A and B are shown apart, each in its own frame.
Chain A
Amino acid sequence: MTAMVDIRSVHKSFGSLQVLRGIDLEVRSGEVAVVLGPSGSGKSTLLRAINHLEKVDSGWISVGGSLIGYRRQGDRLYELREREILRQRTRIGFVFQNFNLFPHLTVLENVVEAPVSALRRPRKEAVSAAEALLARVGLADKTAAYPRQLSGGQQQRVAIARALALEPELLLFDEPTSALDPELVGEVLDVIKDLAHQGTTMIVVTHEIGFAREVADTVVFMDGGRIVERGTPAEVLDAPRHERTKAFLSKVL
């Protein structure tokens, strides 16, 4: 299978703090990769680099065969304009830890906004697609509500529908359940599992080991800005080879 995401020797520093120190990672089309690692290991930074919310210092990232943030012409790389970067991002869905829904727009408007303004879909078409998506995440009756009137779990499901509305070829989740009360985690994970079973390519940063075991094709363990270990859930979670992986797992399990 072809690589949907290809990350090659990516480095990134904030000032003197090296956050990513040479990341190499390939995610195939239809694969579900779960990224684990202690706080501060660079998981969010890596995810944000993939859709160019964060610019990397060296190395490169390509999604669906096209380079993120640059255009190759002959033996040169030209930095893309903001407008072109925005267009690249429409092919990549991003779900944030704290949802970041637009509080002044209704649930339906939240989902309709990007297809209409970024992809120039006709409004009518976008609305019926949005209604179908909201029904799919179990929120058909909440289209007219405002985000603050919803529970955390419902808000995160709206955020997932909002990301899906662009029909992205890749979905990125940054700790999608970390801001939720324990009893609401399940409803969000169920939606993500559903997507995984339908063959959506996704990279999920999470601390939910059970979820990783159940849906991940690949588990990646990061520490100190490097990928320490990667493999199937059985390899990484049940028979970790690296000391740091063992130490981390013994703490979260």
Chain B
Amino acid sequence: MSLTSDPPVGKAHANGAEDDDYSALKVVPVRHPWRWAAVVVTAVLVAQFAHGLITNPGWEWDVFANFFTTQTILKAVWITIQLTFYGTALGFALGIVLAFMRLSKSPFLKSVAFTYIWAFRSIPLIVQLLFWFNLTYLYKRLDFGIPFGPGFFSFDTAGLVGAMSAAVLGLALHQAAYAAEIVRGGVLAVDGGQLEAAAALGIPRLRQLRRIVLPQAMRSILPNAANEVISLFKGTSIVSVMAIGELFYQVQVIYGRNGRVVPLLMVATVWYIILTTVLSVAQYYVERHFSRGAAR
């Protein structure tokens, strides 16, 4: 047999179709037997888990239902929301200031911001919170007036820093360190030509930041910021060490009294899931707002 011989003609036409006309042929899709096996195994596991949730009396769904919307729990949820809100708002406000300090040309402002971020990222949140809670021990009075000079007003720290404000302060200061880095990253991601064009047009400095830089920076800030808000929201449970009646603390108090640990942990869990879902939905809409004009 020689290499140049024509291919056998009869064979190509044996199935009744022309060589170059595929339109009449039946398409046989690729089969995925292993994918099907994985689906079956996973489905069985999920069914078992769901069955356990429903039938295992240990979950005590009746207790869960009793407590899920009681006054005490709703109040605790509200406190958790407040802690998250103030922690985020103050944290990001301070974070934006710190970010622009780090981006400024002044070596002094830069190093102050750098040191702050370094310090507050190094201290575990729980340790920091306990410090604030014990502020009274460090500073008995707080004076407002000329720096190092005579004071005009003064407060007893005991009255000023209640448990709740100590908690908000701690969460916000902690959050600011992370927020600063996120904002700085977002600003650096904006093309330098944008600021140059704004400067060439004579647009005032603050307006350059607010109208040109920040809206564009928001696109990379938002996904990270949403992560931070959600983790702060769950992080509020740490505040329970300061005996503040937020969700996790209140749940602990109740199961300490009645011993129904598992259903009460589920009460907290379901609330955390619901609120995280709300935050995720909000994230979707905010991100959509700031993606105006983006190609992707």
**Could you list which residues of chain A lie within 8 angstroms of chain B, going by C-beta atoms?**
51, 53, 82-83, 86-90, 92, 94, 96, 98, 100-106, 113-114, 117-119, 146-148, 162-163, 166
Q: Are B294 and A86 in contact, CB atoms less than 8 angstroms apart?
A: no
Tell me whether B159 is interfacial, beta carbon within 8 Å: no
Looking at the assembled complex, report how far the CB atom of B223 sits from the nearest CB atom of chain A, in whole angstroms.
Answer: 17
Please report the C-alpha to C-alpha distance between residue A171 and residue B215 in the assembled complex, in whole angstroms: 28
Can you offer 6 A-B residue contacts whose CB atoms are under 8 A?
A51-B200, A83-B204, A103-B293, A104-B293, A119-B202, A147-B293
| Residues of chain A with a CB closer than 8 A to B201's CB | 89-90, 94, 113-114, 118, 162-163, 166
Known: A114-B203, A117-B211. 18 other contacts (CB 8 A): A53-B196, A86-B199, A86-B203, A87-B202, A89-B199, A92-B200, A94-B197, A94-B201, A96-B200, A98-B193, A104-B292, A104-B294, A114-B202, A117-B203, A117-B207, A118-B204, A163-B201, A166-B202
Instruction: Give which listed residue, A53, A89, A103, A147, contacts B216 with CB less than 8 A.
Output: A103
Report the contact-size class of chain B (Cβ under 8 Å from the partner).
Answer: 20 to 34
Please report the C-alpha to C-alpha distance between residue A96 and residue B197 in the assembled complex, in whole angstroms: 8
Tell me whether B281 is interfacial, beta carbon within 8 Å: no
Instruction: Give which listed residue, B196, B203, B294, contacts A118 with CB less than 8 A.
Output: B203
| Residues of chain B with a CB closer than 8 A to A102's CB | 194, 197-198, 212
Q: Are B200 and A105 in contact, CB atoms less than 8 angstroms apart?
A: no
| Residues of chain A with a CB closer than 8 A to B290's CB | 104
**Could you list which residues of chain B lie within 8 angstroms of chain A, going by C-beta atoms?**
191, 193-194, 196-205, 207, 211-212, 215-216, 290, 292-295
Looking at the assembled complex, report how far the CB atom of B103 sits from the nearest CB atom of chain A, in whole angstroms.
Answer: 16
| Residues of chain B with a CB closer than 8 A to A114's CB | 201-203
Looking at the assembled complex, report how far the CB atom of B214 sits from the nearest CB atom of chain A, in whole angstroms.
Answer: 10
Please report the C-alpha to C-alpha distance between residue A89 and residue B199 in the assembled complex, in whole angstroms: 8
Instruction: Give which listed residue, A90, A106, A148, contacts B295 with CB less than 8 A.
Output: A148
Q: Are A100 and B293 in contact, CB atoms less than 8 angstroms apart?
A: no
The 3 lowest CB-CB distance pairs between A and B, nearest first, are A146-B293, A100-B197, A90-B202
Q: Are A100 and B294 in contact, CB atoms less than 8 angstroms apart?
A: no
Q: Are B293 and A148 in contact, CB atoms less than 8 angstroms apart?
A: yes
Please report the C-alpha to C-alpha distance between residue A102 and residue B294 in the assembled complex, in whole angstroms: 11
Q: Are A100 and B194 in contact, CB atoms less than 8 angstroms apart?
A: yes
Q: Are B199 and A53 in contact, CB atoms less than 8 angstroms apart?
A: yes
Nearest A residue to B197, CB-CB? A100
Instruction: Give which listed residue, B200, B215, B293, contacts A53 with CB less than 8 A.
Output: B200
Q: Are A82 and B293 in contact, CB atoms less than 8 angstroms apart?
A: no
Q: Are B204 and A117 in contact, CB atoms less than 8 angstroms apart?
A: yes
Please report the C-alpha to C-alpha distance between residue A102 and residue B216 in the assembled complex, in whole angstroms: 9
Q: Are B216 and A100 in contact, CB atoms less than 8 angstroms apart?
A: no
| Residues of chain B with a CB closer than 8 A to A103's CB | 216, 293-294
Looking at the assembled complex, report how far the CB atom of B27 sits from the nearest CB atom of chain A, in whole angstroms.
Answer: 38
Interface centre among B193, B194, B200, B207 (most CB of A within 10 A): B200
Looking at the assembled complex, report how far the CB atom of A204 sits from the nearest CB atom of chain B, in whole angstroms.
Answer: 16
Q: Are B205 and A82 in contact, CB atoms less than 8 angstroms apart?
A: yes
Looking at the assembled complex, report how far the CB atom of A154 sits from the nearest CB atom of chain B, in whole angstroms.
Answer: 15
| Residues of chain B with a CB closer than 8 A to A94's CB | 197, 200-201
Please report the C-alpha to C-alpha distance between residue A148 and residue B291 in the assembled complex, in whole angstroms: 12
Please report the C-alpha to C-alpha distance between residue A113 and residue B200 in the assembled complex, in whole angstroms: 12
Assess A148 versus B204: contact at CB under 8 Å? Given A100-B194, A102-B194.
no
Interface centre among A90, A117, A163 (most CB of B within 10 A): A117
Q: Are B216 and A104 in contact, CB atoms less than 8 angstroms apart?
A: yes
| Residues of chain B with a CB closer than 8 A to A166's CB | 201-202
Please report the C-alpha to C-alpha distance between residue A114 and residue B211 in the assembled complex, in whole angstroms: 11
Looking at the assembled complex, report how far the CB atom of B84 sits from the nearest CB atom of chain A, in whole angstroms.
Answer: 28
| Residues of chain A with a CB closer than 8 A to B194's CB | 100, 102
Interface centre among A82, A103, A148 (most CB of B within 10 A): A103
| Residues of chain B with a CB closer than 8 A to A53's CB | 196, 199-200
Q: Are A89 and B205 in contact, CB atoms less than 8 angstroms apart?
A: no
Q: Are B295 and A118 in contact, CB atoms less than 8 angstroms apart?
A: no
Assess A113 versus B203: contact at CB under 8 Å? Given A53-B196, A96-B197, A102-B197.
yes
| Residues of chain A with a CB closer than 8 A to B198's CB | 102
Looking at the assembled complex, report how far the CB atom of B219 sits from the nearest CB atom of chain A, in whole angstroms.
Answer: 8
Nearest A residue to B296, CB-CB? A148
Please report the C-alpha to C-alpha distance between residue A53 and residue B198 in the assembled complex, in whole angstroms: 11
| Residues of chain A with a CB closer than 8 A to B207's CB | 117
Please report the C-alpha to C-alpha distance between residue A40 and residue B188 in the assembled complex, in whole angstroms: 27
Nearest B residue to A89, CB-CB? B202
| Residues of chain B with a CB closer than 8 A to A98's CB | 193
Looking at the assembled complex, report how far the CB atom of B72 sits from the nearest CB atom of chain A, in whole angstroms.
Answer: 46
Interface centre among B194, B199, B292 (most CB of A within 10 A): B199
| Residues of chain B with a CB closer than 8 A to A86's CB | 199, 202-205
Looking at the assembled complex, report how far the CB atom of A244 sits from the nearest CB atom of chain B, in whole angstroms.
Answer: 30
Looking at the assembled complex, report how far the CB atom of B186 sits from the nearest CB atom of chain A, in whole angstroms.
Answer: 13
| Residues of chain A with a CB closer than 8 A to B202's CB | 86-90, 114, 118-119, 166
